[in-house]
Homo-oligomer: A and B are copies of this chain.
Amino acid sequence: MASADQVPFDDRGLAYGDGVFETVLLRDGKPVLWPYHRARLHQGCRVLGIELPADAELDACLDGPADGLEVLKIIFTRGSGGRGYAMPDAPRPRLLHRRTAFAPAVERWSGVDVCLCTLRLARQPTLAGIKHLNRLENVLARREWQRADIAEGLLADTRGNVVEATAMNVFWREAGAWWTPTLDACGVAGTLRAALLEQGRVQEALLGAETLIESSAVEQLFVGNSVQGLWPVRSLLTPSGEPLRRFAEAAGAWLQADAHALLGYPSLSGEN
C-alpha cells in the first residue's frame, strides 16, 4: 500500500468508486470515535473484498502536530489494475488522507430547517451501511436546494422510508424514546449513530416520509454526524422552501447532550 496525495488514471477508486472513505473529527490530534471509524472502514473492506489496511498504516494517518479541531479524511481504494471490472491479480490497495482545520457550525446546534429531497435512494442491501465511494445519489440530492437557510436534505428510499440526510443520520423522538432509521437497504451508518445505538440511547425503526410529515407521534427531529454534532430540526421544507411541517423544540434534549459528550462538544441548556 502506498500513501499519496493523488491517484493515477487506473486507480479503481476513480474508475469505479471501488473503495471506502472516512471523515474523522480530530481534537488536538486525537481521533474522536476512532474505533467506530476503523470498524466501519473494515466492514466496508469486507463487503467489497478489499484487504484490510494494516493498523499501523491507518494509525499513521493520525501522525502530525496536534492543533485544535481538525477533520481527517481517509480514502482507501482497491488500488490500480484489473481487466475492466475484474479484480487485479495482486491488488495493492491505496490509502490517502488529508487533514483540514475545522470548526463546527455552532449556531446550528440550536436549530435548523431542513428539506425533504425529491430523489429517492435506490435499495441495494449489499452496499447498505458502508461508507463506499459511490455517492452520486448524495451529490444529486445536495443539488436539489440552493437556499442558505436550508441546512440539510432528508432522503427517503424508493419505498418511501426515511433513510438519512445527505451527509448526516436522522434521529426522531416518538413515545418518549429516540429512534433512527433502520439502514438495511441503503444509507451510511454513521459513527455517532453507531455509538448512540451501542449505548442504548437510540433504537432502530422504520419511518415513512409521510409519517414524518403528517404524524404528531413524531415529536422531535435531529440530523447529525460525528463532526458536526446534532442539529435540532425546527421545520421541514420542500427543496424550494415551502413548509411541510414544524417540530417541537429539540435543542437541549438529552440525546443532543449525550451526542455532544461523545464528541467533546458543549451541551446546550435543556432537559439535562
Contacts and interface: CB of A to CB of B under 8 A. Distances in A.
A58 B134 CA distance: 25
A22 interface: no
Contacts of A12: 139
Interface stretch (A79-87, A232-240, A247-255, A260-268): A79-87
Contact of A18 (B75, B84, B136): B136
A87 to B, nearest CB: 6
A1 interface: no
A216 interface: no
A121 B142 CA distance: 23
- Number of identical protomers: 2
A119 interface: yes
Interface string A132-169: 11111111111100000000000000100000001100
A133 B15 contact: yes
Main secondary structure of the interface of A (DSSP, over half): mixed
A122 interface: yes
A96 interface: yes
A136 B16 contact: yes
A48 B86 contact: no
B136 A17 contact: yes
Contacts of A127: 136-137, 140
Contacts of A243: none
A176 interface: no
Closest 9 pairs between A and B when the two form their complex, measured CB to CB: A122-B122, A17-B17, A122-B124, A134-B134, A85-B142, A16-B135, A14-B14, A6-B6, A134-B136
14 contacts: A5-B9, A7-B7, A15-B135, A16-B136, A16-B138, A16-B139, A17-B17, A48-B136, A48-B139, A87-B143, A124-B137, A127-B140, A132-B136, A133-B136
Interface of A: 5-18, 21, 48-49, 73, 75, 77, 84-87, 96, 98, 119, 121-124, 126-127, 132-143, 158, 166-167, 186
